[in-house]
Amino acid sequence: MALQELTYRDALRKALADAMTENPDVVIIGEEVGRYGGAYAVTKDLIKEFGPERVIDTPISEPAIVGAAVGAALAGLRPVAELMYVDFIGMTMDQLANQAAKIRYMFGGQIGVPMVLRTQGGTGRSAGAQHSQSLEAYVMHTPGLRLAMPATVADAYHLLRQALTKPDPVVFIEHKALYTLKETVDLDAPVPEWGKVAVRRQGRDLVIVTYSRQVHYAMEAAKQLAAQGIEATVIDLRTLNPLDFDTIRTEVEKTGRAMVVSEGVMTAGVAAELSARISEECFDFLEDPVIRVAGEDIPISVSTVLETGSVPGPQLIFETAMKLMAGRVAA
């Protein structure tokens, strides 16, 4: 087992290269994924290793990219379709939500669509309202689609590798602010199985449930809370479908308090769904209402200051947790 230093981007590229080496049916389809190397350089140089027959540059047409991937999966390949931005996933909803997500059901289980849709979302690059959204709730809302959102370098590798073994479509959303995240990892070390959360920090006072970049912000907030004598459990969901609610329930029952943190908008978002489930299924154990910390219900501004202020950060998570714990702190 060898430790190596990788960025989030490197881990994704390695996952793709390893999968393509092992399985000749894995192909990459998308805009500028070949000669240019991808909008965020994840597929850089893969065309040199695997050729243009397996790393396929397409026209600028998201419906065509996803539609071609669905057809390729039905024909026996394992395509990885790349959308530059999750903001454009709405253009692909017929191909993705009406076809890929439903084909196994519509054909009585005789055939599936083993494809991965890679894309990226979130804020952090002042890319404006049409290139900065967090639209994972669209995917989570659609039965038949699996959804992975890695927060760490190791999970960027392992979750993508696992996604490429699944018999049904997986939407794989990477956070644009994490591509340069660098960690020392042992990719041979045991990892949580697909669909299981990772408890990144154990505490006795409250549980923070989150995913993607917000995991890092929650960990920063947890350090601030510890300095105030409050110990928080931080749960990294890793996959939102499947959702490991059993572990969430177990951890919430230990503390009696829960927060759900999401970069997506507050209204009808991931945080709303998870908060409702925790409230319903852990009601007898809760000391206080479940709190949502989520993005503002506004378009994301190109202004760095306004962009930063429109989504949760470590300080907001810390301050909200302090308010939640106010009764205990006073006591």
Q: Which residues pair with 234 in a beta bridge?
A: 201, 208
Check 31, 82, 131, 158 and give the catalytic one: 131
Q: What is the pLDDT of residue 192?
A: 87
- The tokens of 239 are what? 């996959």
pTM for the full predicted model: 0.96
Give the span between the Cα atoms of 265 and 269, in whole angstroms: 6
Nearest to 30 by CA among 9, 53, 49, 56: 56
- The tokens of 83 are what? 């959308």
| Architecture of domain 198-325 in this structure | 3-Layer(aba) Sandwich (3.40)
Check 62, 136, 263, 307 and give the catalytic one: 62
Q: What is the pLDDT of residue 329?
A: 45
Determine what percent of the chain is predicted with pLDDT higher than 70.
98
**Helix or strand or coil: residue 235?**
strand
Q: Assess whether the region 3-186 and the region 198-325 belong to the same CATH fold.
A: yes
CATH numeric code, 3-186: 3.40.50.970
In the chain, where the domains are located: 3-186, 198-325
- Cβ within 8 Å of residue 115, ≥6 positions away: 69, 70, 72, 73, 78, 79, 80, 81, 100, 169, 170
> Strand 55-57 and strand 26-30: pairing?
parallel
Q: Per-residue pLDDT tens for 312-328?
A: 999 999 999 999 998 65
Degrees to nearest 5, angle at CA 165 with 63 and 270: 60
Model confidence band, residue 2 (pLDDT cutoffs 50, 70, 90): confident
Q: Per-residue pLDDT tens for 120-166?
A: 999 999 999 999 999 999 999 999 999 999 999 999 999 999 999 99
Contact predicate 218/210, CB 8 Å? yes
Contact predicate 3/55, CB 8 Å? no
- Catalytic, 31? Answer no
Nearest to 138 by CA among 156, 121, 157: 121
- Catalytic, 263? Answer no
Contact predicate 74/113, CB 8 Å? yes
Give the span between the Cα atoms of 234 and 214, in whole angstroms: 10
Q: Per-residue pLDDT tens for 24-39?
A: 999 999 999 999 999 9
